[in-house]
Amino acid sequence: MAILRSLFLISSDVFVDIGCGKGRVLCCASRFRIRKVIGVEIDKDLCDIAECNAKKVHGRKSIIEIFNASAEDFDYRTGTVYYLFNPFGVSTMSRVLTKMEQCLRSQPRKLTIVYVNSVHESLLSKSGWLEMYDKWNAGDKYGLMHNISFWRSKD
């Protein structure tokens, strides 16, 4: 929850978890009063579990939608905050970032990326359209086990 609180989410935000797994982060994000929470997961069984978990959330303030889809096939035009827990390899990450940039150009808005276990951080650094605005190192805050980098689209 510390990560989500640090984002200062607002009512117009659409939070998207790419590689949402069983939906834990989706459930946490749905406790914030935002427009929508979206999960994208390629594994159908994990989608089913995430759907089940989403139905059990107490204190939910936002709609949760879960898509059984590849990150490369997802439509990135509506999201404002993207959460990625190192969900895939470098080539997929590169293609996803390219698609995010294309969607941002077609529908300009402020965009934030939270990248947990930021193995391919150099791709974001070299993108030209993103800038890192914060980084939490493993062990420094809240007993983190992984590095977390926070990115936003450049104006």
Percent of the chain past pLDDT 90, that is, above it, reads: 86
What's the structural domain count of the chain? 1
Give the global pTM: 0.94
CB neighbours of residue 39 within 10 Å:
30
The alpha carbon of residue 74 and the mean position of all alpha carbons in its chain are separated, in whole angstroms, by: 13
Reported as type and span, the H/E element at residue 50 is helix 44-55
Q: Contact 29/37 with Cβ under 8 angstroms? A: yes
Tell me how far apart the alpha carbons of residues 44 and 54 are, in angstroms, rounded to a whole number. Answer: 15
The pLDDT of residue 155: 75
**Looking at residue 29, which CATH number applies to its domain?**
3.40.50.150
Residue type, position 108, single letter = P
User: Which 3 state secondary structure label does DSSP give 63?
Assistant: strand
pLDDT in tens, 46-103: 999 999 999 999 989 999 999 999 999 999 999 999 999 988 889 999 999 999 999 9
Of 132, 121, 137, which is closest to residue 84 (Cα–Cα)?
121
pLDDT in tens, 122-135: 999 999 999 999 99
Q: Can you give the residue range of the structural domain that contains 110?
A: 2-153
